[in-house]
Structure formats: structure tokens, C-alpha cells
Amino acid sequence: MALYNDTVMEHFMNPRNVGEIENPDGKGIYGSPVCGDMMQITLSVDENEVITDAKFKTFGCGSAIASSSMATELIKGMTVEKALEVSNEKIVEELGGLPAVKIHCSMLAEHAIKNAIYDYAQSHGKEYAGLEGYDPDAEHHDDCEEDEEAGCQGCGNGQ
Ligand code: FES
């Protein structure tokens, strides 16, 4: 059986929304504590708080590229509030699944989106449920349990 399904392969071979929005309304970068790979997401948001465009740059593996492609497709047209609810599980589900050892790659997309929305909220004076006390520079130890399930090797911090 092939390791990656057709949807994952298609998004890897033909990734959507690659690049960087000039003068974005929000920009987020996230580095994986598991593998050290990085993802950047830039957003355009209109006056109704709808994400009108999203682009990504990923220094990561094929699963990270497929995850970012799917994630940016998912959040385009969503309100910022809705996009905050897009989890890595949702991204994996839309991709039709990823191998267990690659689930952490989808975490990059979830965190990069959250960081980009945090940046938008900060620069536009907005507040959203789920962003209270959020620190985009934290190593997300509050997610350790989740990351562990997602294949985290353990960073040794916060333990
Ligand atoms: Fe680092 Fe997939 S993002 S191995």
C-alpha cells in the first residue's frame, strides 16, 4: 500500500497558495519542535473579518507542503473566528489521512495559521476567543500532550 494517498500526493505535487502576500494583514511563522521545520502563512482579511487570501512558504517535508496547501484552501473565505477553529485533525481529515509519523507535520499549519491570526488581531485591535494570553513565541508546551499523540519525540522542556 502506498504511504501517501492520492489527495496528499496531488497537493504535494501541485500545492495551492504558495508564496507570500505583500503587505499582509497577518503573518505567522511557526517552527516544529519535533523536526525543526518551518512554515510561514500570510493572510489578507477584509473589513468583515473574512480571510480573502492566504499564502504559505514551507521549509518542510511533503506532508507539511500538502498540509499547508490544504490548510490555506480551507481558511480562504472563512471568518477569522472560524479559521481559528481549524485544527490539524481537520487538515489531516481533509487530506484523507497522513501516516502516523507525519501527523506532526500538519501541526505546523495549525500553529502557523494561529500565529498569523494573532498577528492580525494584534495589529487591528481585535480580540478572539482562544487567543487570550496567547504567546506566538512560546514553544507551545501547553500542546505537548497533543504533540505527543501526534508523534512528538519530546522536547525535554516543561517536564
Ligand atoms: Fe518536518 Fe514533516 S514538517 S518532517
| All cell numbers assigned to 34 | 519535533
Q: pLDDT tens-digit profile of 62-76?
A: 999 999 999 999 999
Q: What is the CA(34)–ligand 1 centre distance, in A? A: 8
Per-residue model confidence (pLDDT) at position 71: 98
Active site residue 35: yes
**Sign, CA torsion 89/17/112/78:** negative
| C-beta of residue 43 within 8 angstroms of C-beta of residue 133 | no
Distance (angstroms) between ligand 1 centre and the Cα of 97 equals 15
Taking alpha carbons only, the member of 78, 99, 32, 52 closest to residue 42 is 52
Distance 95 CA to ligand 1 centre (A): 16
Least confident of 61-65, 98-102, 124-128, 144-148: 144-148
Separation CA 150–CA 104 (nearest Å): 5
pLDDT in tens, 68-116: 999 999 999 999 999 999 999 999 999 999 999 999 999 999 999 999 9
Whether 105 is a known active-site residue: answer yes
> Which atom belonging to ligand 1 lies closest to the Cα atom of 63?
2
